[in-house]
Structure 1
């Protein structure tokens, strides 16, 4: 657990030149008359605002809802299908994209739009994105401060749970809530930022080595894993629909997590967004796994 935090910090310190090279080589041509930024990712939008560059953000996707000020910017369409006319009209200095936008590069170049591909899939990548985006938007010092605050937070949590026994946890990010049963259950596998946060919080992800980052699990697969704890992430406040959400889990009475009342439903759109609010996600994991530490982190 402490090794995860130390490894992340070292990766950021020793591997920054490699990561920066991967960013820079995907930059398109820049126009001297252009200004401001466009973000095609909620995580990068939140990063820009957290760095203090919000005033320079001219356009965002329809899914960039935080901070609230982001909703006042021009909407340039969806995550993977932006409105190119809107992009050109805004004439940005730079468009921030993720590796999932690689298929857009050819059209961006054709239109003469400058872009930067910034990965945020893993915890080290999120950490490095704060530094790199900070440099690109003229807020380098703020980027360093954001990373330092993240490092301190992770180290403090790691120390807080250091002597706790690790529990095998199934972390669920989605399922068919309308079926009344556990269908199309998507779990978090090792290698993602959510799995890293789970480990720092003092748990062991019971889904490891999967080909997909968010593999689909059958009921039989869940029974085979038999996790000690289940945490399900939903987008909205789960309290009003909690009995309905919990019922399918309670039906699996063979599971140790169910027998020991260790099934937790956590609500909030920020849980699956890589960016500055991952410290809140980490704290929520700690509070769910270690109720006696709730007041220490929330």
Structure 2
């Protein structure tokens, strides 16, 4: 990083404890921004705008992002709110070592805007490690499965993986939604796009598609 000679390094609050002091010792300026909740993302946009001298552009981005989120919220406001399990990580090809979005995460906030309700309990970090038994207890109506390995030696078919739990309501009713967009699990300026994508999966009927 020092060889790149950056004027500024943007860190998340999770990265800051490991990198902030090292960057300071190298004489590199850094800014740590919060990323846990949806509200944090707007704080981050503002702080990055201030740090880079682009406050007007940051304010415009925040305004457009809020407007897009409001549009998605309006589309789903009066629809049923199915329970949603959002799997952000697991061992490829298996249902082991699963990490899911919990209440308190920005993904839970986006699920709420998209017309669903997150099943996992609150967690300080916003994420929980869960077992197959725990998922059976939650029995979500919709499963959103972020697939990190869609090509190469670890490529998989998520539908086959989840058939290991055929008793789950989401599996029985065909409400398993694999996603391969890498920007999804990251708190970023793309949260409005993520919310709309989630709404299309949870409530396809609101976008001209049939119900599942």
Aligned length: 206
Where does residue 9 of structure 2 map in the other structure? 95
Q: Is 1:161–2:76 an aligned residue pair?
A: yes
Q: What CA RMSD, in Å, does the superposition of the two structures yield over aligned residues? A: 2.2
Match of 2:122 among 209, 214, 218: 209
Q: CA deviation at 1:291?
A: 1.3
Q: Is the 8 A contact 2:149 2:156 kept in 1?
A: no
Where does residue 200 of structure 2 map in the other structure? 287
Q: Is the 8 A contact 2:85 2:119 kept in 1?
A: yes
Q: Which of the two has greater helix per residue?
A: 1
Where does residue 136 of structure 1 map in the other structure? 51
Q: Report the TM-score, using the length of structure 1 for normalisation.
A: 0.64
Q: Is the 8 A contact 1:236 1:268 kept in 2?
A: no
Q: CA deviation at 1:253?
A: 2.0
Q: Report the TM-score, using the length of structure 2 for normalisation.
A: 0.88
DSSP 3-state at the match of 1:269: coil
Tell me, which stretches of 5 or more residues in structure 2 are unaligned?
none
| Higher Cα radius of gyration | 1
Once the two structures are superposed, residues 95-122 of structure 1 have per-residue CA deviations (whole angstroms, 9 ceiling, x without a partner) of 2222222232333333322221112222
Where does residue 103 of structure 2 map in the other structure? 190
Q: CA deviation at 1:94?
A: 2.5
What is the correspondence of 1:141-152 to structure 2 with a 5 Å cutoff?
A: 141-152=56-67
Higher RCO (C-alpha under 8 Å, 6+ residues apart): 2
For 2:145 and 2:206, how far apart are their aligned partners in 1? 20
For 2:170 and 2:85, how far apart are their aligned partners in 1? 9
Structure 1 runs (4+) deviating above 3 angstroms are 235-238
